[in-house]
């Protein structure tokens, strides 16, 4: 009887050990979720994705540039800048919004691919005699992926959809929409250094 009780205890011990092994914690899950939605901005983004390229005003020039700034031998920032320049008239409350192609997530560590000056509490006015332009940038962290070429980089970041909203001297609010393909992007000199290495 004692022997069989011991056998039962031993069996229970074995079963417990197996069960404990089986109830291991499996893997680690990562959920990426960010706060920050705003109906007006969501609507602006929806318009960006549906609007055609149009610049009815023609009262200024735009340029979208891309640069790579090395932080250390392994890591870099990929910096986008949309420049609104050469205003022919006074442009009040200039607001810039642009959206990098969704595929850029392959190369960038980012919560969102939106670049905007929506956080500026003071409106920016540019004119031929005052501030001559406005540049709106974002420095994204570039993932240390194995290797990529300039063409592969351009292939994932374009097209970039943008809007420039401003108020005319007559008080009318104008929104111009742009779509920048890979060939429309201006490459900073830093790109040459980066891809030469």
Partner 1 sequence: MPGLGMIRQDQRSGIYSLIKDVSLIVIGLKLTTVQNIIMSVAQAVGASMAIDHLVTAQTFISYRYVGKEGQVWTESLVWQTWFDTRSREVYKHYWGTYVCHNNFQRQATVDFLPPLHSWIRFDASPSYHNDSLIAHRAFDNWFHKRAWTVEYGY
To partner 1, the closest distance from the beta carbon of 152 in angstroms equals: 19
What is the β-pairing status of strands 108-109 and 160-167? unpaired
Select 43 or 181, whichever has its Cβ closest to partner 1: 43
Select 141 or 156, whichever has its Cβ closest to partner 1: 141
To partner 1, the closest distance from the beta carbon of 4 in angstroms equals: 26
137 within 8 A of 79, measured Cβ to Cβ? yes
Applying CB under 8 A, which residues contact partner 1? 19-20, 22-38, 40-42, 44-45, 67, 69, 71, 75, 77, 79, 81, 83, 85, 109-112, 114-122, 124, 126, 131-141, 143-144, 188, 190
To partner 1, the closest distance from the beta carbon of 101 in angstroms equals: 16
The neighbouring-strand residues paired with 83 are 63, 135
Q: Which of 21, 50, 1 is nearest to 9 (CA)?
A: 1
93 Rama class: left (phi>0) / alpha (psi -120 to 50) / beta: left
List Cα–Cα distances, 104 to 2, 33, 189, in angstroms.
Answer: 70, 18, 21
Select 95 or 180, whichever has its Cβ closest to partner 1: 95
To partner 1, the closest distance from the beta carbon of 31 in angstroms equals: 4
Q: Which of 92, 98, 89, 95 is nearest to 57 (CA)?
A: 89
To partner 1, the closest distance from the beta carbon of 48 in angstroms equals: 10
Select 112 or 181, whichever has its Cβ closest to partner 1: 112
Q: Which of 166, 173, 145, 170 is nearest to 62 (CA)?
A: 166
Interatomic CA distance for residues 163 and 167, integer angstroms: 13
Select 89 or 120, whichever has its Cβ closest to partner 1: 120
């Amino acid at each position: 009887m004692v022997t069989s009780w011991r056998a039962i205890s031993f069996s229970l011990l074995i079963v417990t050990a197996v069960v404990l092994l089986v109830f291991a914690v499996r893997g680690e899950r990562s959920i990426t979720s960010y706060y920050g939605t705003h109906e007006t901005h969501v609507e602006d983004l929806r318009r960006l994705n549906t609007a055609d390229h149009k610049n009815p005003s023609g009262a200024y020039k735009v340029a979208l540039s891309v640069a790579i700034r090395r932080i250390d031998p392994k890591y870099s920032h990929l910096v986008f800048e949309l420049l609104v320049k050469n205003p022919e008239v006074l442009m009040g409350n200039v607001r810039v919004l642009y959206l990098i192609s969704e595929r850029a997530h392959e190369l960038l560590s980012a919560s969102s691919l939106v670049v905007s000056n929506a956080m500026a509490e003071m409106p920016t006015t540019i004119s031929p005699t005052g501030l001559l332009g406005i540049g709106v940038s974002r420095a994204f962290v570039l993932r240390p992926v194995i290797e990529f070429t300039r063409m592969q980089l351009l292939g994932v970041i374009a097209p970039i959809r943008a809007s420039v909203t401003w108020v005319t001297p007559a008080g009318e609010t104008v929104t111009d929409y742009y779509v920048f393909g890979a060939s429309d992007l201006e490459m900073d000199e830093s790109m040459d250094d980066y891809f030469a290495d």
